[in-house]
Amino acid sequence: MRKLSLNVVLAGLTGIGGLAACESKDAEDSATTLPGNSGILTLPTTLPSGGESESDSGANTETGGTDGGTDGVTSEPVTTTSPGTGPKFDLEASPDGGMADTGVEPCNSPNDPGCMCSIPDHVPCDNGTQDPFLAMGLNCPGELQVTATKSGAPGAIGVRYVFGQGGTFNPREGASYAVIGSGLVSDLNNQTPVGDFNLQPTHCNDDVGGFDPGNNLPPPLRINDVSGDCTQDPALLGTGDCSNTIQGQFQNYGANDYTELRFVMQVPPDVTSFSYDFAFFSVEYPDYYQSAFNDMYIGWLESEKWTGNISFDQQGNPISLNAGFLEFKDDPTGQNPIPQFQNTCMRQHAGTNWLQTTAGVSPGETITVVFAIMDISDSILDSYVFLDNFKWGCEPTGKPSTMPPG
């Protein structure tokens, strides 16, 4: 077991060495070795206080990490409210343009044993896989295992190894990444005909059928806002969406073509955060850009520190066409296509680059993570999200944040 400086290790592991922060902590809470796992990397930090292979069509809800038949999305009614009174969760950029303030003081003594954290080793295991969880970096042999389920149309869940041209959407971890969509994943390989009618695109415009939960998303997802800051008032946990980013999308419209990947797992001892990478795409661009009609992606965390969406921009917007990360906007006429969308159905449409969400967790707790995408108000004009590079970390983040990866 090696003990390394937080900044040095994070610079090598996450590319954001100097941006990590941690609180001071009593020495008796120093790093521990993960039972039953070899190759634990030990580094200084602290524990923050508080705590493409597509499937056949048809209904699907599956447990485990392999493909197979399922029963589809089921959910209990979830109480919703009228337009929320809670504040939109706003992570403003710092004055110098750096990362947003997470509300956690940096550790003044990086070599203090009270600022130690243990990250389990990970070896990618997704070469040639058809399993979306392996593709994301989960359930590899000899590593921590998760209880994994899939819900939605099987054709809306898949694995990819490449997308477009130029290497922008190569895997972030291993050899592949997971894909979920409000339409068929196989359609992503179909290039938009030049001059295609964007309101009725030839490809990525499918109703997958039978997965329309409306305003009652599968538990534990709740669309209603909370009345304050969950990081300051733990009583708000479990009462709604701590990010206050979902309810505004559901004022007059419900969710259709709902698709999710879900996993339940125990956080390793001394680990204080996790992160994952994603990219979002939608053929709703250009006609519904900056409108109220927006498909959306939700990354939901159910934990002791946070219950709600963890993936949103710095202005508190959910991941949709209106999020601030929409980097790639193709020529809507198809005359001057960008290489990132060549040979795909996203020509003439738009998407983000890879982004990384980081969220704090408590060591040893059991968490539920749900990655979900859905059409809003209709079942056509599809959207997709790529998911990859789930990993544990030692960033003592008090509030979830989403940024371009370092």
Please report the pLDDT score of residue 134 as a whole number.
99
Please report the pLDDT score of residue 50 as a whole number.
35
Does 33 map to a domain?
Answer: no
> Which two tokens mark 372?
């979900």
Residue 133, amino acid: F
Does 193 map to a domain?
Answer: yes
**Rounded to whole angstroms, how far apart are CA atoms 212 and 73?**
8
Please report the pLDDT score of residue 291 as a whole number.
84
Residue 237, domain extent: 51-105+124-406
Pairing label, strands 355-360, 273-282: antiparallel
Does 40 map to a domain?
Answer: no
Please report the pLDDT score of residue 144 as a whole number.
96
**Rounded to whole angstroms, how far apart are CA atoms 185 and 207?**
12
Please report the pLDDT score of residue 22 as a whole number.
37
* Cα distance from N-terminal residue to C-terminal residue, the chain: 26
Residue 208, amino acid: V
Domains held by the chain: number:
1
Q: Are 367 and 272 in contact (CB under 8 A)?
A: no
Alpha-helical regions (H) of 203-344: none
pTM: 0.75
The ranges of the chain with pLDDT < 50 are 1-110
Residue 290 CB: number of other CB atoms within 10 A?
10
**Each residue of 153-176: pLDDT tens digit?**
999 999 999 999 999 999 999 999
Does 135 map to a domain?
Answer: yes
**Rounded to whole angstroms, how far apart are CA atoms 341 and 267?**
37
Residue whose token pair is 């120093």: 30
Please report the pLDDT score of residue 114 as a whole number.
52
**Rounded to whole angstroms, how far apart are CA atoms 165 and 155?**
24
Please report the pLDDT score of residue 93 as a whole number.
41
> Which two tokens mark 236?
């708000």
Its sign, for the CA torsion 310, 245, 282, 183, is positive
Phi, psi (rounded to 5 degrees) for 84: -65, 145
Nearest to 296 by CA among 334, 347, 241, 344: 241
Does 261 map to a domain?
Answer: yes
Which residues in 252-336 belong to E strands, given as ranges? Answer: 255-266, 273-282, 296-302, 307-309, 328-329
Does 265 map to a domain?
Answer: yes
Does 46 map to a domain?
Answer: no
SS3 225: strand
**Rounded to whole angstroms, how far apart are CA atoms 167 and 170?**
5
Does 1 map to a domain?
Answer: no
